[in-house]
């Protein structure tokens, strides 16, 4: 008779890890098993409890699909996928399933523009022509200031008009009538529509349409083999996640809807589609693990150009962890109890995306999901608590959903 002996939690999810033996062999092994010293803790012990929290989030009734990866000390130590492209479809989410990157696209635009500058094709300190971004009072902003969200415009200028259906060319002339909160460069003020003024500059510098410049100069260079731009290319992919919106339910499940949004026209700010595999490649490049981005580009993109006090206030629940925040070229910077983090999140209705990196530790967390709900947003604080010992990692337990 043969017995199956579980070798640990990994074996529970992988029958190939069963050990087959006879009763006599098992009895012979038993004293060894009982007297073996406990395994010494390792720096990666946080992954097991974090996987448990991932499974809790993936099981919530409003979730459809979730894809997560963790890089630590330069090694890919976790790849986790769960759920379906569309709830009830039977089509499982994989590391090749496309999701909307949403505002994570801004860091990709910043990287592209810094690459073009590094090649001598573009001066980010040059002013954006007023025909592309006519700021109030005759003012102009540099490309660097637009990338760093320091145009001086009131936050989210003209987003509502775009959401109501106004075309970008119609909105451009309206910038000069918008309210301002400071002079260009003097303060942080988050924008989406204003970001699109960079697309013409990028296209001219690359000698290609902006979407093709992103493909050739960024996606191909970094090994982001699945990445595309726009809703049409999303919907023709072999595997793509449908948006699952909590407010639209069918038979108790979030309903999959049309992935198109008003923000599809803001390619530079929110238009990229990515798989988990793409996000891993993107993180590896920004950590400098594969030398696909020059050091000068990494320094240029990652250096904060000023504090973001409104973002720090938004993160008030994390005030015991995050001391200050800033904005670089399409990237946020956080000080997490002395650890310097680079990050950006993105949201479009029915989708979420995140990337967090700690370059000093060659660490990155990337996540993509198609669902509305708070729980996925609290995975990273949970991970950081478990990894650093800064707290109990109980953020998910505090949610009222």
Percent of the chain whose predicted confidence (pLDDT) is above 70: 87
**Residue ranges covered by each domain of the chain:** 3-28, 47-114+200-398
Task: Determine the pLDDT at residue 28.
Answer: 39
Check whether 323 has a pLDDT greater than 70.
Answer: yes
CB 297 within 8 A of CB 270: no
Q: What is the mean pLDDT of the chain?
A: 89
Cα–Cα distance, 359 to 367 (Å, whole number):
17
* pLDDT tens digits, one per residue of 124-170: 999 999 999 999 999 999 999 999 999 999 999 999 999 999 998 88
Task: Determine the pLDDT at residue 247.
Answer: 62
* pLDDT tens digits, one per residue of 276-295: 999 999 999 999 999 999 99
CB 133 within 8 A of CB 300: no
Q: 253 versus 306: which is more confidently predicted?
A: 306
Provide the pLDDT confidence category of residue 255 given band limits of 50, 70 and 90: low
250: which 2 tokens?
């069918």
CATH classification of 47-114+200-398 is 3.40.50.10470, yes or no? Answer: no
5: which 2 tokens?
């002996």
Q: Residue 287, CB half-sphere, CA atoms under 13 Å: how many?
A: 28
Q: Is the full-model pTM beyond 0.85?
A: yes
Which residue shows structure tokens 């198109």?
A: 260
Task: Determine the pLDDT at residue 19.
Answer: 34
* pLDDT tens digits, one per residue of 327-356: 999 999 999 999 999 999 999 999 999 999
Task: Determine the pLDDT at residue 245.
Answer: 81
Percent of the chain whose predicted confidence (pLDDT) is above 90: 81
Residue 98 — φ and ψ, nearest 5°?
A: -85, 135
Cα–Cα distance, 249 to 246 (Å, whole number):
7
Q: Which residues contact 361 (CB under 8 A, 6 or more apart)?
A: 72, 73, 339
Residue 27 — φ and ψ, nearest 5°?
A: -65, -35
The mean pLDDT value for 95-101 works out to: 98
Most confident of 5-14, 42-51, 324-333: 324-333
């Amino acid at each position: 008779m043969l017995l199956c002996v579980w070798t640990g939690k990994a074996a529970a999810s992988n029958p190939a890890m069963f050990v087959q033996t006879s009763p006599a062999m098992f009895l012979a092994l038993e004293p060894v098993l009982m007297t073996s010293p406990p395994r010494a803790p390792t720096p990666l012990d946080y992954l097991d409890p974090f996987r448990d929290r991932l499974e809790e989030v993936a099981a919530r009734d409003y979730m459809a699909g979730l894809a997560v990866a963790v890089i630590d000390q330069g090694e890919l130590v976790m790849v986790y996928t769960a759920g379906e492209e569309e709830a009830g479809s039977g089509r499982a989410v994989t590391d090749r399933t496309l999701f909307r990157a949403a505002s994570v696209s801004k860091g990709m635009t910043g990287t592209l523009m810094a690459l073009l500058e590094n090649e001598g094709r573009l001066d980010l300190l040059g002013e954006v022509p007023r025909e592309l971004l006519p700021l109030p009072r005759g003012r102009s902003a540099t490309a660097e200031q637009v990338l760093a969200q320091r145009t001086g415009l009131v936050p989210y200028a003209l987003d509502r008009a775009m959401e109501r259906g106004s075309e970008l060319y119609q909105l451009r002339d309206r910038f000069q009538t918008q309210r301002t909160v400071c002079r260009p460069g003097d303060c942080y003020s988050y924008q989406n529509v204003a970001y699109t003024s960079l697309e013409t500059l990028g296209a001219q510098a690359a000698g290609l349409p902006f979407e093709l410049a992103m493909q050739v100069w960024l996606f191909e260079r970094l090994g982001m083999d699945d990445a595309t731009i726009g809703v049409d290319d999303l919907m023709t992919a072999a595997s793509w996640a449908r948006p699952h919106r909590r407010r639209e339910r069918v038979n108790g499940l979030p309903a999959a809807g049309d992935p198109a949004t008003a923000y599809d026209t803001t390619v530079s700010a929110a238009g990229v589609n990515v798989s988990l595999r793409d996000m891993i490649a993107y993180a590896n490049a920004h950590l400098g693990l594969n030398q696909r981005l020059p050091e000068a580009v990494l320094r240029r993109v990652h250096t904060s150009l000023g504090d973001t006090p409104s973002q720090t206030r938004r993160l008030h629940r994390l005030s015991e962890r995050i001391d200050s925040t800033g904005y670089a070229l399409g990237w946020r910077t956080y000080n997490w109890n002395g650890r310097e983090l680079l990050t950006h999140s993105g949201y479009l209705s029915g989708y979420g995306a995140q990337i967090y990196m700690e370059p000093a530790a060659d660490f990155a967390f990337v996540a993509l999901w198609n669902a509305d709900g708070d729980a996925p947003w609290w995975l990273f604080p949970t991970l950081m608590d478990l990894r650093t010992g800064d707290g109990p990692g109980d953020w998910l337990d505090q949610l009222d959903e």
